[in-house]
Structure 1
């Protein structure tokens, strides 16, 4: 007997429809006579429509310059008819502040959704059921499940052990009783924590710049050396002050110094060897079933730094 695969399609939020005057992320699907049909990406791709009159505050000379099939962007919700399923949207009424807030929320929600979907798929669970008992309660408690996931990286029990669900059973006397049990099994909990840590643990990042300075006056080399070292020390000081404000730490592995062509050549060879070693390692690793998009453009602290 064939077993139906678990449902892996679900909206990101508990509400089935967005609220009026809310900015939502859409993807343009089709351009029609009256306007553009779009999918609301945060609401399981339910359909909405942007009338041409809601594309721009200015006179429209070319629709293709304002909206294109496949493009993703924030728009404003004008009307929601839950009975008929109609959602009217506007591009011209969304402000820069709305756009920024929507993109920030969507990037966090997309990462949460990717993790939840991957766990549901690998553990053969219904995605909506996982959201009902895990995802949406975390949205309610933390404002956004992303904030809960940040805590789970270092302290999963404080977040997940408080989640429960009710199950109905037949008691010894034949009567139906309701029992409160953990929201998920230990196996599902372990899979969720493992995926959250893999996707949300910050990865090391190195910043490097190559510059070339020339000075043709007398003692030019000496001026370059002195000025270059002075500028680099000032940059290190500024970086240290900036990272301290964000509770980070800057460590100077090697102080600024002048290098010869030979030193530069040795550094280039060393960097090339490191790149080659990294390519060999990544080629030997097994790939995940699901594409690992990492944290994308999300900052774990501020949800605003770029990848």
Structure 2
């Protein structure tokens, strides 16, 4: 006889208290199939309920190839344009998603998924055997904080605080055993690792040192002229002076990116001490380079590489706004990977465009007569 292993039921639930998204919400979906009218998708944050991206909502520009815009199995950020809860219809749009919505959607989804994964694992450990039990756990914990702060995925920040302050979960209507399981899983998944503090990119040409504090690997182009003769020696001396701040507990590294770019980094478990060490290093570099009539300028202050703050979002938005000027799907290059949409989908759209042109031509001809 072959013994079969008893498997726990696969529990599932939505990420948020609302069963359906609201109009103008940005959501993450996975494309399931492509039909004549558009693409059928599953809303990942809402327990994989079905939605549809209409053909006319795929792109802001003329569609040359549907397969370049959307593929089966790919995840997309889309915006909700219509919800019929009675019939279960959800119409979505890809072309109406703007850069700021895209970034905010991806960040919220990542946080909500992390919280959901923790609580779903807790439900498995506690032996829950129904989706209703998982939903009740979410309602008493994650959704409680979402309602309290009136923001989706607000529970993520609360769970992060619970790593060091267990009392933040006291207001949840759960028993001690459940609370301990939640805290145990939070510590495993959300305890911060050693943070990496980056003092950015230093720009040096002939005793000229400009430190650019960037979390993301991007920087502006800077032109610096070389007028001196002994500049490189002064630069080496300044960097060597900065390295004297390095200790076994707080190692400081200064690496060359590309002349005149340098980056100052350290790894630490204590954010405040790490920032202080990097600032001390920069101060030594400044004193040394300026004593040799060089130039030192900090453009952005040292910060933790893993921080996700408003300033970072703004910089990413500005860059993505420039990139969004070129809408995907406008090029003529053929792509072959992924599933191919029905041939009639492209032909149908071209036929509609052709009919519109013909109607305009006939109207102009009749006006001329």
**Could you say which TM-score interval applies, normalised by the shorter chain?**
0.5 to 0.7
Mapped pair 1:95 → 2:98:
yes
1:135-184 CA distance string (max 9 Å, x none) = 21121123311121122111122x221222xxxxxxxxxxxxxxxxxx2x
CA contact (8 A) 1:150 1:300 kept: no
> CA 1:304 to 1:85, structure 2 compared with 1: closer, same or farther past 3 Å?
farther
Cα separation, partners in 2 of 1:109 and 1:298, compared to 1, 3 Å: farther
Structure 2-normalised TM-score? Answer: 0.54
Deviation sequence 1:208-250 (CA, Å, 0-9, x none):
99xxxxxxxxxx9x8655323435749979969xxxxx96624
1:200 and 2:190 equivalent? yes
Decide whether the 8 Å contact of 1:24 with 1:77 is kept in 2: yes
Q: Whole-Å Cα distance in 1 between the matches of residues 237 and 72 of structure 2? A: 52
What is the SS of the residue equivalent to 2:141?
helix
Q: Which runs of structure 2 are paired with 1:97-112 in the superposition (5 Å)? A: 97-112=100-115
* Residue pairs, 1:270-289, within 5 angstroms: none
Any idea what the Cα deviations from partners look like across 1:73-125, whole Å, max 9, x if unmatched?
A: 21110101111111000000111111111111111111111111111112213
Contact 2:25/2:79 (CA < 8 Å) preserved in 1?
yes
Tell me what 1:167 maps to. Answer: none
Q: Kindly indicate whether residue 170 of structure 2 is the aligned counterpart of residue 161 of structure 1.
A: yes
TM-score, normalised via structure 1 length: 0.64
SS of corresponding position for 2:91: strand
Moved over 6 A (4+): 234-240, 300-305
Using a 3 Å threshold, how does the CA distance of structure 1 residues 139 and 304 change in structure 2: closer, same or farther?
A: farther
Cα distance in 1 for residues equivalent to 2:306 and 2:126: 26
1:152 and 2:178 equivalent? no
| Structure 2 match to 1:17 | 20
217, 228, 235: which one pairs with 2:236?
A: 228
Match of 2:275 in 1: 249
Deviation at 1:201, TM superposition (A): 1.6
Counterpart in 1 of 2:223? none
Maintained 8 Å contact 2:195/2:306: no
Distance in 2 of aligned mates of 1:194 and 1:6: 22
Aligned equivalent of 1:130? 137
Q: Which runs of 5+ in 1 are unaligned?
A: 165-182, 210-219, 241-245, 257-296
What's the offset of the Cα at 1:33? 1.4
Residues 47-82 of structure 1 deviation map (CA, whole Å, 9 limit, x = unaligned): 101011100111000111111122212111010111
Distance 1:7 1:156 in 2: 29
SS of residue in 2 equivalent to 1:249: helix
* Larger of the two Rg values belongs to structure: 2
Q: Which residue of 2 aligns with 1:39?
A: 42
Residue from 12, 24, 29 that aligns with 1:26: 29
What is the alpha-carbon root mean square deviation over aligned residues? 4.0
**Structure 2 unmatched ranges of 5 or more:** 1-5, 201-228, 244-252, 255-261, 266-270, 283-304, 314-369
Distance 1:151 1:107, change over 3 A: same
Aligned to 1:177: none
- Give the deviation of 1:34 after TM superposition: 1.2
SS in 2 for 1:15: coil
